[in-house]
Amino acid sequence: MDKNATYKEVSQQILSVIEGEPSATARYSSAACLLSQAFDYFFWTGFYVVDPVKQDELVVGAYQGTLGCLRIPFGRGVCGTAAATLETQIVEDVHAFPGHIACDSRSNSEIVVPVYDATGSLAAVLDVDSTEYGSFDEIDAKWLEELCSKLLIGATQH
Ligand code: SME
């Protein structure tokens, strides 16, 4: 299956699993789980959510993979850059990214996509890390941005 077909299938699966689910946690967890199984080279899939108290800091949420760091200030690393700029970050070689936070040296490339709540505020970022270099491009960005734009529609609880 090519990338588009895989993303189409996993996106439909995630959206159908979370349909009608009020809990944001259940939605994030289901998406992290199903995405982790979509591609062999996905090494870490998960969410860093905006801390409700310290709103310029991300705290780790639902994920699949090895231990992730717990907190990332806005502006730091790839996740913090996505949160600060509200722009998807595609990094072909994480070791060459200034300020990259290395949670596990097996991660070699990554994509980070902002997630918004129903009011349009930043709620979280989706972080997908790959064991390979240069795994992510505009196709990944398009599908993951579309998924993230729908992820919290209908979520009314944390
Ligand atoms: N790659 C991230 C850190 C989080 S982990 O990789 C799970 C970053 O630099 O933002």
Residue position matching structure tokens 């990554």? 110
Mean pLDDT of 22-38: 98
Residue 1 has pLDDT above 90, yes or no: no
Q: What residues form DSSP beta bridges with 112?
A: 89, 127
Residue span of the structural domain in which 19 resides:
3-151
Mean pLDDT of 17-40: 97
Q: What is the DSSP string of 37-57?
A: TT-TTEEEEEEEEEPSSSTTE
Is 30 contained in some domain? yes
Task: Give the CATH number for residue 49.
Answer: 3.30.450.40
Is 156 contained in some domain? no
Quick one: tokens of 80?
């913090």
Is 66 contained in some domain? yes
Is 109 contained in some domain? yes
Please count the structural domains in the chain. Answer: 1
Whole-prediction pTM? 0.96
Q: Is the CB of 69 under 6 A from ligand 1?
A: yes
Q: Is the CB of 68 under 6 A from ligand 1?
A: yes
Is 158 contained in some domain? no
Is 56 contained in some domain? yes
Distance from residue 49's CA to the centre of ligand 1 (Å): 13
Mean pLDDT of 134-138: 98
Report how far apart, in Å, the C-alpha atoms of 149 and of each of 18, 52, 111, 127 are: 14, 20, 16, 15
**For residue 98, what pLDDT band results from cuts at 50, 70 and 90?**
confident
**pLDDT at position 155:** 95
